[in-house]
Chain A
Amino acid sequence: MRYSGFKVIKEALTGHKGWKPAWRDPDPQPHYDIVIIGGGGHGLATAHYLASVYGQHKVAVIEKGWIGGGNVGRNTTIIRSNYLLDGNEPFYEFSLKLWEGLEQDLNYNAMVSQRGIMNLIHSDAQRDVFIRRGNAMILNGADAEYLDLAQIKKEYPFLNFDDARFPIKGGLAQRRGGTVRHDAVAWGYARAADSRGVDIIQNCEVTGFRIEDGKCLGVETSKGFIGAGRVGCAVAGNSSRLMAKAGMRLPIESHVLQAFVSEGLKPVLPGVITFGAGHFYVSQSDKGGLVFGGDIDGYNSYAQRGNLPVVEDVCEGGMAIMPMIGRARLLRMWGGIMDMSMDGSPIIDRTHIDGLYFNGGWCYGGFKATPASGYAFAHLLARDEPHATATAYRFDRFRTGHMIDEKGMGNQPNLH
């Protein structure tokens, strides 16, 4: 069924009788060519591109709960491609380009809104680093714009210019960055994949891998064994738990990142703003809520909830840079499990087990990567070779010393 304005009108006039489930609820088949574990954004996107680009139709996505219930449904919805390093920037720029055509590709309005993202700069050293980054973005074919103080005052007059502990000295803007309605990304990919025959199997937990002679033959699940030619794992914060079932230890720690939304407010913010002297970034949703976040809590956690010190730290950052939000109210806070990798960059790679593939280590940046991650993982699963934009995301980069460390924090995941 195609969605369109016409269809909405037609259904409205005929009692909404014609709407069908957005995806089927199939029982698992005994064997698939490709099984993807994880019905989050990345897993569903992988399924979609496998079916739509790589011609794979015997594909299943296995999800232990409900699709879209993990980080794709609990992030702060930001998309951008403002990365510095060669290993990253082409990949994220590819992702941004996929975002730009997503709705037409999926026939689903995920509200990709390119209202811009602006990183504030508060010191000369920070400016040097951001100029280097802006140049790297442009040299990689992305857009970047350096804003001086006067331009920032003009575009963001409500920021704290008079009383700041760390005065604003400039900013690096990416106009093509912005936000996307996060849940709709999961639903849109699910619906598109389902329409091409992908089985999305919810409430089906993987309990183990069947591995014989170094080859993965399929997965044991709460709904029985499901055979697979290839198995791709895309379970973000649960990566270590899942891959431990295949006997693997990963260069990943799971950490909690909290996110926050305020009550609905009339339009205040033009785009995404990132405070450079504290842990705070914010945008405003189409419903009017200020969606904001900051640093991870900093300790290993699978609890999907955090603690007060970080809540306070984030709100301090908010009040430092935008003291007008003091009387806006925080409506809800929640936590997600971040698969923090050892250099802050992801992994999309084969494992040492034949037929078993891995996608993870997204840290707190997985949402913006969703389309490219799905595309590149689909490429890897279909062709058994890395996608051109994801060649650096290998497991063995730590062995060889080819880390992709944007923040320069080394092998301490909670600092990335």
Chain B
Amino acid sequence: MTQKNRLNGGQIDRDTTLNFTFDGKQYAGHPGDTLASALLANNVRLMGRSFKYHRPRGPLSAGSEEPNAIVELRSGARQEPNTRATTAELFDGLSATSQNRWPSLAFDAMAINDRLSNFLTAGFYYKTFMWPAAFWEKIYEPIIRKAAGLGSLSMRADPDTYDKGFRHCDLLIIGAGPAGLNAALTAGRAGAQVILADEDFRMGGRLNAETYPIADMSGADWAAQTVAELATLSNVRLMPRTTVIGAFDHGIYGAVERVSDHLATPAAGKPRQILWRIYAKQTLLCAGATERPIAFDNNDRPGIMLAASMRAYANRWAATPSHRVAIFTNNDDGHRTAHDLQGKGVKIAAVIDTRQDAPRSYDYEVLQGAQVVDTKGRLGLTFVEVNQVDGSTRTVECGALGVSGGWNPNVHLTCHQRGRPTWDENLAAFVPGGTLPSGMNVAGAANGDFSTHGALKSGANAARKALGLKGRAPAVPEAEDAPGTQTPFWYVEGCSRAWLDQQNDVTVKDVKLSHQEGFRSVEHLKRYTTLGMATDQGKTSNIGGLAIMAELAGKSIPEVGTTIFRPPYTPTAIGVLAGRMRGKEFHPTRLTPSHVWAKERGAVFVEVGNWLRAQWFPLPGETHWRQSVDREVTATRASVGVCDCTTLGKIDVQGSDAATFLNTVYCNGFAKLAVGKTRYGLMLREDGIAMDDGTAARLAEDQFVVTTTTANAGRVYQHMEFVRQCLMPEADVQLISTTEAWAQYAVAGPNSRRLLQKIVDPDHDISNEGFPFMACANITVCGGLRARLFRISFSGELAFEIAVPSRYGDALMRRLMAEGEEFDVTPYGTEALGVMRIEKGHAAGNELNGTTTALNLGMGRMVSKAKDSIGSQLSERPGLNEADALMQVGLRPLSAEDKVTAGGHLMKASGPVDAAHDQGYVTSAAYSPTLGHMIGLGFLKDGGNRMGETLRLVSPVTDLTVEVEVVSAHFVDPEGERVRA
């Protein structure tokens, strides 16, 4: 395979050939190539289509600022849309496909838009597609959406993994061009902890793209030698292929390392990319500069590119877009391209220089004071038309045109904390200014030091300054030191279209129209025209748009403003920002000590927050979950059941003021609770709304064990710490969460005491007299194992909760099962637990929904007026105490076979069904095997006075209307005889 446009030299490994395909066609390249350089070497200039007009496009640049040459890389589930061919490292077997074209890149039917461009100007869509109203969603928008977008997702889960990591350093250097390398050398030799990150796979920046020397060697050799020295320093970490994407608060930087993107697939066990969070004491931005184009009519044809990028292709990659090239420039840098390409045997058709005094010292034709006014060539440039200084027109035949309008410092990261760059008149460019992120310094071309010598020097100096190094500065190696002055030249006046934002097809005309219609601030300009909103984020286009707007508005460029640069510096895979937190690893999974046992029993698990809890335990032959749950409820109520309630929050409250403390955090009183007793507690937020409920057991004068609901364990603990540290700082009270420390089981049912008596050591009396309802104690079980026993009941049965240190949880559960065989002990899951608590009328998460008060819950009188507690004051507001306030009630269907749905609303038995007549809603519902029909709990206006009333339960969203009767919420054992048995 020939590489027709391959030149001599370059930093590619010609001994190795890499085969790749583009749009199915086979090509060859070499290690060191990018996809774009390899395609250019193969005489492929056409690589993409633009967004709106589907104009044929080739690469504009040789780096991450690329707007045009973007492709779908790879295939199958690894397909990556919108990948820049200019930064995609070539590997053997690479496959790429052009995008946003149909049926083919060379012939794209959507290019009809280009013919209609006069109708499709900036903002045209705001002015039309309004009639008839229904047509937008049905007709116009589907057409627009289908046409919009660039590349495609595979629609399959990303098969690669991503990692995250943390790194710390004294000095983070961003960019490994001359400034960054010399800074790293200075800092590294001084012994500082240095990280040097560069987005490129080869460090050196522009040094790899230029021919001029540093000291007595080529710039590229100097870069390689410096990198080699840095690699020997243990305090310097080199991070090639790493893009610093954002500067965040307090010296924290996000950086993405592309670990495997240069490989066909990641090596086994390796991630595709890593997101590094870098904590830097000081940062040195050496991000270089980006060449800016000049706008002229039809300046977007394949083959027209930035002059310095053309030079980079020739010098670094030994590739040229054509063997006959012209240059259009307003500065000396364009001449460097002509010189270097000529040196590699490329024919320089002409250098068209806007300056009348342009140098003529080279061995090619220079058209002084001339401008390119038009170009030709549908799928690739064939010639350019030039207006000469004498007014005559001339045609210059060429297959490529290098364009240079000067350079813009890459100030992007300096603006991530909303600092604004300042305008440098001398450079006619924005340079870092305003308030930089703390600890950030800027050096080299990013700071406007465009010469190699200037970059080397400012890099070293900035590193010394950042680290506070004393002593004489080391000598700066000799290098070119051309003056950096730039004379602005933004666009050539024309009658056709001159592109500013090539990807989004924003032309000079669009900017003019934007001005004409009053969209004159930079924010309006970009939003109205979409200038700078493409995947290149306006790196090459924003400044031109600003300059034209400034000219039209009769203002200076800084008066028009600059758009705020936002992270990320270059587009970043969403996958790497998520890392491993996806799939089953999205959140940590918390397992209780009896999880393995439950799994052995065939339990079905359910996610409760981050916990997995056994939901029910199906037995052979049970085909529907209801069979299992009904059995578990019935068996528990008939004999004994065991449920793992480890997930409830547990907080140890200790200290001489522990009772006073609980008296403050609970709305009901705790000061007088006797040792050995447990009390139900309702905790309010300061705004008087119920926050959580649970129990507090007084195990000693100065020790309580508080339980919380599973869901609120964290928030209750946080709240208690707030009260302790901020409101009661002098109190002698300590808190610790012991949720994970204790495995806890509810043992419920008439035989629960008999079962426990087989386990609790005999010196502990747990008879009804010795250990009555609401008793608690530190005990021992199974011959000396310390445990806590609470006689509390959520199920409404005679019940206990027993806690042992977590490591004994599994053993205790197995022992309970073994010892309980004689009682047909039944393990029950969260469903049966829920059924029994609804049967008993206990409030839970569904009722404690953050808007309910003690009054709503039927506990209004619990809020003690005798003491101050959190929430007691604000709970007295009238809106929380209205005469017809919602009250918790029980609901029973009039027909036993009817369904009761949680989330249903309650309406009077007759009358309208609408929001204005809403009487309340159902919070919880379950089938009660005890009663043989469904039951519900709900909140009903003035519910306490409406027992026996018939209501309609309506749930239009699930298409249900049933008649229900208002009953007591205590469906089972309303007198509480069982719990006291």
The reply to whether A and B meet directly (CB within 8 Å) is yes
Task: Kindly identify, within residues 164 to 210 of chain A, every residue whose CB is under 8 Å from any CB belonging to chain B.
Answer: 164-167, 172, 181, 183-184, 187-188
Per-residue CB contact flags for chain A residues 297-319 toward chain B (1 = under 8 Å, else 0) read 00000011101100110011111
A262: nearest chain-B partner, CB-CB = B574
Verify B573–A286 contact, CB threshold 8 A.
no
Verify B130–A4 contact, CB threshold 8 A.
yes
Complex interface: chain B residues within 8 A of A25 (CB): 518
Verify A5–B574 contact, CB threshold 8 A.
no
Verify B584–A324 contact, CB threshold 8 A.
no
B583: nearest chain-A partner, CB-CB = A163
Q: How far is the CA of A128 from the CA of B937 in the complex (A)?
A: 12
Verify B150–A263 contact, CB threshold 8 A.
yes
Q: How far is the CA of A371 from the CA of B877 in the complex (A)?
A: 33
Complex interface: chain B residues within 8 A of A7 (CB): 127-128
Q: Is A154 an interface residue (CB 8 A)?
A: no
Verify A320–B150 contact, CB threshold 8 A.
no
Verify B578–A407 contact, CB threshold 8 A.
no
Among the listed stretches A40-48, A235-243, A325-333, which one makes contact with chain B, having 4 or more residues with CB under 8 Å of it? A325-333
Q: B280 CB to closest chain A CB, in angstroms?
A: 14
Verify B575–A319 contact, CB threshold 8 A.
yes
Among the listed stretches B444-452, B630-638, B914-922, which one makes contact with chain A, having 4 or more residues with CB under 8 Å of it? B914-922
Q: Which of A65, A69, A188 contacts B126 (CB 8 A)?
A: A188
Question: Known: A130-B903, A140-B915. Is A329-B573 also a contact (CB below 8 A)?
Answer: yes
Verify A114–B584 contact, CB threshold 8 A.
no
Q: Is B599 an interface residue (CB 8 A)?
A: no
Task: Kindly identify, within residues 907 to 945 of chain B, every residue whose CB is under 8 Å from any CB belonging to chain A.
Answer: 913-915, 918, 921-924
Per-residue CB contact flags for chain A residues 79-94 toward chain B (1 = under 8 Å, else 0) read 0000000100110000
Q: Is A288 an interface residue (CB 8 A)?
A: yes
Q: Is A73 an interface residue (CB 8 A)?
A: yes
A131: nearest chain-B partner, CB-CB = B903
Q: Is B954 an interface residue (CB 8 A)?
A: yes
Q: How far is the CA of A305 from the CA of B565 in the complex (A)?
A: 11
Q: Is B558 an interface residue (CB 8 A)?
A: no
Question: Known: A160-B157, A266-B151, A410-B687. Is A111-B125 also a contact (CB below 8 A)?
Answer: yes
Q: Is B277 an interface residue (CB 8 A)?
A: yes
Per-residue CB contact flags for chain B residues 808-849 toward chain A (1 = under 8 Å, else 0) read 000000000000000000000000000000000000011001
Complex interface: chain A residues within 8 A of B160 (CB): 326
Verify B128–A268 contact, CB threshold 8 A.
no
Q: Is B952 an interface residue (CB 8 A)?
A: no
Q: A375 CB to closest chain B CB, in angstroms?
A: 19
Task: Kindly identify, within residues 254 to 306 of chain A, every residue whose CB is under 8 Å from any CB belonging to chain B.
Answer: 262-268, 277-278, 284, 286-288, 303-305
Q: Which of B248, B589, B924 contacts A308 (CB 8 A)?
A: B248
B160: nearest chain-A partner, CB-CB = A326
Q: Which of B537, B585, B606, B956 contacts A165 (CB 8 A)?
A: B585
Q: Is B129 an interface residue (CB 8 A)?
A: yes
A343: nearest chain-B partner, CB-CB = B687
Verify A19–B902 contact, CB threshold 8 A.
no
Question: Known: A132-B903, A328-B81. Is A3-B150 also a contact (CB below 8 A)?
Answer: no
Q: A27 CB to closest chain B CB, in angstroms?
A: 16
Task: Kindly identify, within residues 59 to 102 of chain A, every residue whose CB is under 8 Å from any CB belonging to chain B.
Answer: 65-66, 68-69, 73, 86, 89-90, 101
Verify B918–A86 contact, CB threshold 8 A.
yes
Q: Is B788 an interface residue (CB 8 A)?
A: no
Verify B277–A308 contact, CB threshold 8 A.
yes
Q: How far is the CA of A129 from the CA of B924 in the complex (A)?
A: 10
Q: Is A214 an interface residue (CB 8 A)?
A: no
Q: How far is the CA of A86 from the CA of B851 in the complex (A)?
A: 13
Per-residue CB contact flags for chain A residues 385-408 toward chain B (1 = under 8 Å, else 0) read 000000000000101111101011
Verify A138–B586 contact, CB threshold 8 A.
no
Verify B130–A144 contact, CB threshold 8 A.
no
Per-residue CB contact flags for chain B residues 235-267 toward chain A (1 = under 8 Å, else 0) read 000000000001011001010000000000000
B957: nearest chain-A partner, CB-CB = A134
Q: A12 CB to closest chain B CB, in angstroms?
A: 4
Q: Is A411 an interface residue (CB 8 A)?
A: yes
Verify A166–B586 contact, CB threshold 8 A.
yes
Verify A163–B130 contact, CB threshold 8 A.
no
Interface Cβ pair total, 8 Å cutoff: 369
Q: Is A351 an interface residue (CB 8 A)?
A: no
Q: Is B222 an interface residue (CB 8 A)?
A: no
Q: How far is the CA of A328 from the CA of B575 in the complex (A)?
A: 8
Q: B118 CB to closest chain A CB, in angstroms?
A: 4
Verify A288–B417 contact, CB threshold 8 A.
no
Q: B947 CB to closest chain A CB, in angstroms?
A: 23
A128: nearest chain-B partner, CB-CB = B902
Verify A331–B537 contact, CB threshold 8 A.
yes
Verify A144–B957 contact, CB threshold 8 A.
yes
Verify B957–A324 contact, CB threshold 8 A.
no
Q: Is A245 an interface residue (CB 8 A)?
A: no
A407: nearest chain-B partner, CB-CB = B850
Q: Which of B416, B686, B850, B955 contacts A135 (CB 8 A)?
A: B955
Verify B905–A316 contact, CB threshold 8 A.
no
Q: Is B571 an interface residue (CB 8 A)?
A: yes
Verify B519–A160 contact, CB threshold 8 A.
no
Q: Which of B128, B903, B905, B955 contacts A129 (CB 8 A)?
A: B903
Q: How many residues of chain A have a CB within 8 Å of chain B?
A: 120
Complex interface: chain B residues within 8 A of A319 (CB): 158, 574-575, 578, 581-582, 586
Q: How far is the CA of A113 from the CA of B896 in the complex (A)?
A: 46
Q: Is B149 an interface residue (CB 8 A)?
A: yes
Q: Which of A111, A133, A172, A265 contacts B150 (CB 8 A)?
A: A265
Verify A327–B158 contact, CB threshold 8 A.
yes
Verify B80–A109 contact, CB threshold 8 A.
no
Q: Which of B158, B248, B845, B879 contacts A324 (CB 8 A)?
A: B158
Verify A104–B130 contact, CB threshold 8 A.
yes
Verify B129–A399 contact, CB threshold 8 A.
no
Q: Which of B128, B153, B905 contacts A4 (CB 8 A)?
A: B128
Verify B571–A263 contact, CB threshold 8 A.
yes
Complex interface: chain B residues within 8 A of A181 (CB): 126
Complex interface: chain B residues within 8 A of A265 (CB): 81-82, 149-153
Q: How far is the CA of A25 from the CA of B517 in the complex (A)?
A: 11
Complex interface: chain B residues within 8 A of A405 (CB): 689, 850-851
Q: How far is the CA of A397 from the CA of B879 in the complex (A)?
A: 8
Q: B691 CB to closest chain A CB, in angstroms?
A: 8
Verify B880–A288 contact, CB threshold 8 A.
no
Q: Is B878 an interface residue (CB 8 A)?
A: yes
Per-residue CB contact flags for chain B residues 348-366 toward chain A (1 = under 8 Å, else 0) read 0000000000000000000
Q: Is A219 an interface residue (CB 8 A)?
A: no
Verify A324–B583 contact, CB threshold 8 A.
no
Complex interface: chain A residues within 8 A of B879 (CB): 397, 400-403
Per-residue CB contact flags for chain A residues 321-352 toward chain B (1 = under 8 Å, else 0) read 00111111111111000000000000000000
Question: Known: A8-B128, A113-B137. Is A263-B850 also a contact (CB below 8 A)?
Answer: no
Complex interface: chain B residues within 8 A of A124 (CB): 606
Q: B685 CB to closest chain A CB, in angstroms?
A: 5
Q: Which of B127, B151, B152, B689 contacts A109 (CB 8 A)?
A: B127
B834: nearest chain-A partner, CB-CB = A124
Q: How far is the CA of A264 from the CA of B158 in the complex (A)?
A: 18
Q: B76 CB to closest chain A CB, in angstroms?
A: 11
Complex interface: chain B residues within 8 A of A23 (CB): 518
Task: Kindly identify, within residues 119 to 157 of chain B, every residue whose CB is under 8 Å from any CB belonging to chain A.
Answer: 119, 121, 124-131, 133, 136-137, 141, 144-146, 148-157
Verify A308–B918 contact, CB threshold 8 A.
no
Q: Is A31 an interface residue (CB 8 A)?
A: no
Complex interface: chain A residues within 8 A of B535 (CB): 263-264, 329, 331
Verify B581–A399 contact, CB threshold 8 A.
no
A-B residue pairs, 7 tightest by C-beta: A408-B850, A326-B158, A131-B903, A288-B149, A401-B877, A401-B879, A326-B575
Can you pick out 14 interface pairs between chain A and chain B where the beta carbons lie within 8 Å of each other?
Answer: A3-B127, A12-B121, A22-B517, A66-B523, A140-B915, A160-B583, A164-B583, A286-B141, A308-B252, A323-B158, A330-B571, A333-B567, A400-B878, A411-B687
13 further contact pairs, Cβ within 8 A, besides A111-B136, A330-B571, A401-B879: A4-B130, A12-B119, A21-B516, A25-B518, A103-B136, A134-B903, A134-B956, A134-B957, A139-B956, A163-B157, A187-B528, A326-B575, A401-B874
